[in-house]
Structure 1
């Protein structure tokens, strides 16, 4: 099948729901073969069935180095290389402001959102093709001072920093590294924030009130942005942060 990602091999972490699943569907539609990861086996298998073809689900936690090594062992055996990485796995981050945020909350957020991204890329280096593309999912939260989001926002600021450093480190191999920073997107991630459904709804209403386009984004819109960064359409683009937040940080 022809497409913008024809014959490309992609690894997408957090690919069982939300933005990651939408990216996986978009990439397959554009000709890629995708490996998707997630922590919950049933959800992962459901996602693979939704994608329908050219997909291998691999259960695992990006914060667990053994899981990452097993993931890339499977990729190496099945395909032998990686052309695209989308380091997307993350957990939500709302916590009591300031000193009230617990060490457990801090560690959980940084283990997945920051440590997980770092080692998702590090463990793939030996399999990365020259000219590969790496897309790191950050967040527009790293631009904003949102009460209760200190660990989450900082974890995503670190991801943004990774992109700059890796863009410099990998440039001689033609490997491009960029971040995608979504704004408020209609995904299940807020279910990991510890809020009740009513609290989540109220919080999201408050957030949407600050979006100039007047709505939450859709996972499919983020998938189109990720496709741009992953494909040759962005062949002269590296080290950037593509902010897709309805104008929230720009207007």
Structure 2
């Protein structure tokens, strides 16, 4: 909901591969709104067009810092702080389901966070934050806290 509909927004700069910055982002949202209704892990860096044997260590590190580490550490505050009926959303990539030449690093870096939604949902199983399920597709996953309705397909 935008400000024209009576909602409000804040902007917080954060490097998703840095735990301290994600914690600051989460704290700022919690201070402003009291709880998290939705947490979205959507950052990504593409490195495509390189063969599976044609990359160096620096090429490897950046996509894994953002696409793997960043997505996973973004989901952590959601597991801790999402309110009843809230959502944690991981937006993945079709590349993980349909490998293509030149996408080895990018697709690989998106695989680790694709695995995480069910364990993150299990971590939400505290009395007031019980996971009601997860839906995983090649494009993403939605985790729901107690009281939430399943999204329509």
TM-score interval for Structure 1 and Structure 2 normalised by the shorter chain: 0.7 to 0.9
> What are the ranges of 5 or more consecutive residues in structure 2 without an aligned counterpart?
none
1:174 aligns with 2:124: no
1:84 aligns with 2:84: no
Q: 2:27 aligns with which of 73, 95, 111?
A: 73
Match of 2:50 in 1: 96
> What are the ranges of 5 or more consecutive residues in structure 1 without an aligned counterpart?
1-27, 34-52, 183-224, 243-251
Report 1:1-251 matches (<5 A). 28=1, 54-171=8-125, 173-175=129-131, 176-179=133-136, 181-182=138-139, 235-236=149-150
Across the aligned residues of Structure 1 and Structure 2, the Cα RMSD in angstroms comes to 3.2
Which fold has the larger relative contact order, with Cα–Cα distance below 8 Å and residues 6 or more apart in sequence?
2
Tell me the distance in 2 between the aligned counterparts of 1:147 and 1:135: 28
SS in 1 for 2:108: helix
If each structure's helix is expressed as a fraction of its own residues, which one has the higher value? 1
Contact 1:178-1:229 at 8 Å conserved across structures: yes
Structure 1 residues 158 and 140, CA, compared in 2 at 3 Å: closer, same or farther? Answer: same
Structure 1 residues 70 and 229, CA, compared in 2 at 3 Å: closer, same or farther? Answer: closer
Contact 2:117-2:143 at 8 Å conserved across structures: no
Query: How many residues are paired up?
Result: 146
Shift of 1:177: 4.3
Structure 1 residues 70 and 87, CA, compared in 2 at 3 Å: closer, same or farther? Answer: same
Contact 2:15-2:21 at 8 Å conserved across structures: yes
Q: With structure 2 as the length reference, what TM-score do the two structures score?
A: 0.78
Tell me the distance in 1 between the aligned counterparts of 2:15 and 2:113: 18
Contact 1:164-1:177 at 8 Å conserved across structures: yes
Q: With structure 1 as the length reference, what TM-score do the two structures score?
A: 0.50
